[in-house]
Amino acid sequence: MGEWRGFAVDLGASNGRTVLGRYDGDKLEMQEVTRFLNIPVSLNGTMHWNFLGLYQEVLMGLAKVCASGKYPSTVGVDSWAVDFGLLDRHGELMGNPRHYRDHHNDGMVQEVLDRVSAEKVYALTGIQTMQINTIYQLMYLKLYRQELLERAQNMLLIPDLMTYFLTGVQASEFTNVTTTQLFNPLSGTWSLELISLLGLPERLFGPIVRPLEILGMIRDGVLGTGHYQKIKVVTVGEHDTASAVFAIPHEAGDYAYISSGTWSLVGIVSPKPIICEETRRHNFTNEGGVNGDYRVLKNVMGLWLWQEVKRQLDQKGEPKSFADLVQMAERAKPLQAVIDPDDPVFLAPENMITAVQTYCQRTGQSPLVELGDICRVILESLALKYRWVIETLEEITGRSLSVIHIIGGGVYNKALCQWTADATNRLVLAGPAEATVIGNLSAQLISVGELAGITDVPALVRRSCETKQYEPKLDRAIWDEGYTNLLKLL
């Protein structure tokens, strides 16, 4: 069939990239085409995404590939979740989309819960309550920007907005829709009951499309004429975590996964959503997968803590590389203290180093003075929190999760991977780091028949990418003691 080429657009909350994928019938190869910053813009007290700038970056990447003669046959777009743009009756974008960290979302969780109980919202959606969710952003517009909702004819999440301007097709992709807290996974449709209870316009919630479908073609005028018009735009796992989990190189049997980056998304893949009092009480979420399954997971603060330590050192004029910090952590004494990484004090402290030290003092633990000790406590505590999430999932599901797949940028932190194996007493398989792009490209391969189906993806990933294996090493007793100390903090 010759070499297949696909074009992946991967938009993250801090930067984006375009990637050319090539498949020769055996292995998938990737070449980064462009990389660009995604910097929010504050205007009149509101934080926005620069969507027009992102769109231009996507076009520049696509034009660069085509100018080289390497025309892709397909394009797929993934991005972060929950944020959206509104379209008017002419299909025009009504302003740049708001940023999920915009302070106008403050208090909107309570506004929703004043109208619908937390128990009912969870029963209808299976999604964890987080202020950033689409439901709370729309509640702000209903209360304070009603004129926008009155004019709007459709709401499209960020990747859907991007594919709309590429193809002219307005549709909402399943995996990203499930994150809005306005989708009912039991019915497989928008939760019209919840939408009605909140008084949101039903017309905003358009057709839902599944991944692995051809959405349309690059339309006239986007990049010109000729070869551009032959490029298909397909629906991938448009939520970036959905694409990442799709690329897990798993074999037979149950497993847990950790999508490791600024956030750690710790969970399992389930054929159906798991919506019960236990998952609600522990704030687990049910997000859609590429093949119609569900990612039952919990957000753990992740390497945000680690990144903030580095940022603080950089600001002080004492810069350290991540490799330096890992080496310092490895030389420190193990399990001197434990923190709960998800304690609110670590969400956005002015000084992460001080926040960790203060937390340890407040909880009656050993004071941490050396930087290496602080770094080690952060990584060990993340590993112990992963254990709590996985053991809780085992209790809820009755499944034995003996293997953990770590994907994403966190695979480069070998200390965290090893200590995750130690803390959980489980085999850890780390890789691929580029799981999101691989999942995006794999969905494109299936959509045009280059791969027979979803069951071919894990083997393709194993052929194309290296993974590293970590087995438990350190004494169980010291990790069990650390876990007991963590449980006291939860």
Q: pLDDT band at residue 227, thresholds of 50, 70 and 90?
A: low
pTM recorded for the entire structure = 0.93
Write the pLDDT tens digit of every residue in 415-442: 999 999 999 999 999 999 999 999 999 9
Q: Return the minimum-mean-pLDDT range out of 191-200, 301-310, 440-449.
A: 301-310
Could you give the dihedral angle defined by the CA atoms of residues 161, 165, 171 and 175, in that order, rounded to the nearest 10 degrees? -40
Which pLDDT does position 253 carry in this prediction?
80
User: What angle is formed at CA 479 by the lines to CA 475 and CA 481, rounded to 5 degrees?
Assistant: 115
Please name which of 87, 129, 81, 136 lies closest in space to residue 107, comparing C-alpha atoms. Answer: 136
Please name which of 379, 442, 484, 45 lies closest in space to residue 234, comparing C-alpha atoms. Answer: 442
Q: Mean pLDDT throughout 42-49?
A: 93
Please name which of 56, 10, 59 lies closest in space to residue 32, comparing C-alpha atoms. Answer: 10
Per-residue pLDDT for 171 more than 60? yes
Write the pLDDT tens digit of every residue in 371-429: 999 999 999 999 999 999 999 999 999 999 999 999 999 999 999 999 999 999 999 99
Residues whose CB falls within 8 Å of the CB of residue 325, separated by 6 or more in sequence, listed in order:
306, 309, 310, 371, 375
Per-residue pLDDT for 228 more than 70? no
Which pLDDT does position 261 carry in this prediction?
87
CB 380 within 8 A of CB 482: yes
CATH number attached to the domain at 248-431+467-490:
3.30.420.40
State yes or no: is 240 an active-site residue: yes
Write the pLDDT tens digit of every residue in 451-476: 999 999 999 999 999 999 999 997 88
Measured from the Cβ of residue 134, the count of other Cβ atoms closer than 10 Å reads 22
Task: Give percent above pLDDT 90 in the chain.
Answer: 88
Active-site hit among 102, 240, 340, 422:
240
Which pLDDT does position 192 carry in this prediction?
97
Alpha carbons within 13 angstroms on the beta-carbon side of residue 395 total 10
Q: Mean pLDDT throughout 142-150?
A: 96
Alpha-carbon Rg of the chain, whole angstroms?
Answer: 22
Outline where DSSP puts E strands in 196-271.
208-209, 213-217, 232-235, 256-260, 264-270
Q: How far apart are the first and last CA of the chain?
A: 55
Could you write out the DSSP letters of every residue in 122-174? HHHH-----TTSHHHHHHHHHHH-HHHHHH--EEEEHHHHHHHHHHS---EEH
Q: Which residues pair with 155 in a beta bridge?
A: 86
Tokens found for residue 406: 């770590």
Q: Which residues pair with 297 in a beta bridge?
A: 267, 285
Measured from the Cβ of residue 364, the count of other Cβ atoms closer than 10 Å reads 8
**How far is 417 from 411, CA to CA, in rounded Å?**
7
For 150, list phi and psi in degrees, rounded to 5. -70, -35
For 140, list phi and psi in degrees, rounded to 5. -60, -45
CB 370 within 8 A of CB 309: no
Which pLDDT does position 226 carry in this prediction?
58
In the chain, CATH 3.30.420.40 covers 4-238, 248-431+467-490
Which pLDDT does position 229 carry in this prediction?
64
Write the pLDDT tens digit of every residue in 288-339: 999 999 999 998 988 989 999 999 999 999 999 999 999 999 999 999 999 9
CATH number attached to the domain at 4-238:
3.30.420.40
Burial of 43 (0-12, 13-18, 19+ CB in 10 A): exposed
Please name which of 200, 186, 95 lies closest in space to residue 137, comparing C-alpha atoms. Answer: 200
Beta strands 84-87 and 74-79 are unpaired
Which pLDDT does position 9 carry in this prediction?
98
Measured from the Cβ of residue 304, the count of other Cβ atoms closer than 10 Å reads 19
